[in-house]
């Protein structure tokens, strides 16, 4: 196993997935607490649109996907504010429009649909060093954001109206948080795929709620569980030769079930 791990793409994959596992659950926590799940599905469709656009114009799908998801979040937030509509409803509208646009691109530019859909599986081993650096910088920024704005986030998580009356610029922070979630979802999609990204985004904070005794405890628990799922799942995949994303998701689900049953007792 050590021999396999010493291979550069595998080693790079282990480092990236561990870093992501230790940091991305922070965005999962925002997603979970602020009930942004419809938006997470919209972003998944946004990734398919990004992939089809990138393949149609022969540009980097990694950055295109991130760019398109950021644009979608900007449009969505603006529309939600202008139309005074719930973000969930707007997300559903954007979900439909993005997938229809994706298929228009696939059809009109003769993009191989299968190549676009590979985004749903992710590809941890083909990351370039630029992409790895990008993920590393974003992970650091995510940790910094959580640390320096912990008071804002605490207020936002507790209650948006209380946050507003306590003097926090909650609407700006909500917007920033949505943006952070969008970038994280796009990155996680690249790492373990759209179908399984919840394993490092959502399951760690959900498992942390089983034992957390405070918000601080929940944050620490989320990132630790994320690290365990990501690194443990990756090593498991190498050991028994299964896809890394599936191993990460399987391990996360197993821990979730054990924690849930233990909690029940």
Partner 1 sequence: MDHSLIVTQNDKVIFTSNQHWLYPLFELEDFLKQHPIDASELFLRDKIAGRAAACLMVYLGIRHCHVGLISQRALSVLDLHNVSYTYDRLVDQIQCRTENMIDDEMSISDAYLLLRKRAGRVKGLPVKLDAVSLQMEEKRLLDKVDLFVDRGEQLVIHGSNGVGKTTLLRAILGFVPLVSGTIKVGDYEVGSSAWKKNRSMVAYIHQESIKNGFPITAGEVVKIGLGNSRLTRNDAEMKVEVAMRRTGSFYLYDQLYNTLSGGEKQRVSIARCLCQNAGVFLLDEPTSFLDQRGKDDLLELLYEVIHNEAPTMILVSHEHQWAQRLQWKSMELKGGAFC
Residues found near partner 1 in the complex (CB under 8 A):
33, 151, 154-155, 157-159, 161-168, 209, 212-218
Q: Which is nearer to partner 1, 99 or 160 (CB)?
A: 160
Closest CB 147 distance from partner 1, rounded Å:
13
The set of residues, in sequence order, having a beta carbon less than 8 Å from that of 241 and lying 6+ positions away, is none
Among the listed residues 199, 181, 204, the one whose alpha carbon sits nearest the alpha carbon of residue 243: 199
CB of 194 closer than 8 Å to CB of 116: no
Least distance from partner 1 to the Cβ atom of residue 212, Å: 4
Angle at 125 between CA 195 and CA 118, to 5 degrees: 40
> Looking at beta carbons only, is 161 or 241 nearer to partner 1?
161
Please, what is the minimum distance in Å from the beta carbon of residue 39 to partner 1? 19
CB of 53 to partner 1, least distance (A): 38
Of 118 and 209, CB closest to partner 1? 209
Tokens representing 227 are: 């690290």
Name the residue nearer to partner 1 (CB basis): 123 or 171. Answer: 171
Measured CA to CA, the distance from residue 54 to residue 105 in angstroms comes to: 10
Q: Which of 74, 65, 27 shows the shortest CA–CA distance to 198?
A: 27
Q: Which is nearer to partner 1, 163 or 238 (CB)?
A: 163
Closest distance between partner 1 and the C-beta of residue 157, in Å?
A: 6
In whole angstroms, give the CA distance from residue 230 to residue 235: 9
Give me 71's structure tokens.
Answer: 């644009």
């Amino acid at each position: 196993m050590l021999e396999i791990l010493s291979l550069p793409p595998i080693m790079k994959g282990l480092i990236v997935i561990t870093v992501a596992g230790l940091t991305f659950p922070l965005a999962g926590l925002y997603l979970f607490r602020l009930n942004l799940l419809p938006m997470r599905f919209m972003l998944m469709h946004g990734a398919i649109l990004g992939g089809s656009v990138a393949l149609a114009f022969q540009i980097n799908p990694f950055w295109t996907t991130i760019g398109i998801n950021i644009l979608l979040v900007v449009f969505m937030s603006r529309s939600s504010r202008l139309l005074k509509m719930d973000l969930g409803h707007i997300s559903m509208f954007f979900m439909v429009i993005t997938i229809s646009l994706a298929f228009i691109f696939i059809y009109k530019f003769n993009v191989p649909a299968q190549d676009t859909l590979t985004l749903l599986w992710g590809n941890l081993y083909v990351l370039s060093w630029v992409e790895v650096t990008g993920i590393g910088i974003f992970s650091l920024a995510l940790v910094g954001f959580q640390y320096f704005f912990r008071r804002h986030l605490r207020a936002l998580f507790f209650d948006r109206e209380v946050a507003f009356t306590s003097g926090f610029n909650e609407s700006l922070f909500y917007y920033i948080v949505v943006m952070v979630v969008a970038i994280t979802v796009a990155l996680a999609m690249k790492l373990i795929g759209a179908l399984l990204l919840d394993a490092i985004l959502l399951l760690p904070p959900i498992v942390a709620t089983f034992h957390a005794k405070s918000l601080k405890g929940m944050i620490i628990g989320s990132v630790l569980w994320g690290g365990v799922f990501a690194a443990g799942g990756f090593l498991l995949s190498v050991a028994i030769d299964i896809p890394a994303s599936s191993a990460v998701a399987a391990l996360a689900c197993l821990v979730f079930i054990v924690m849930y049953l233990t909690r029940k007792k």
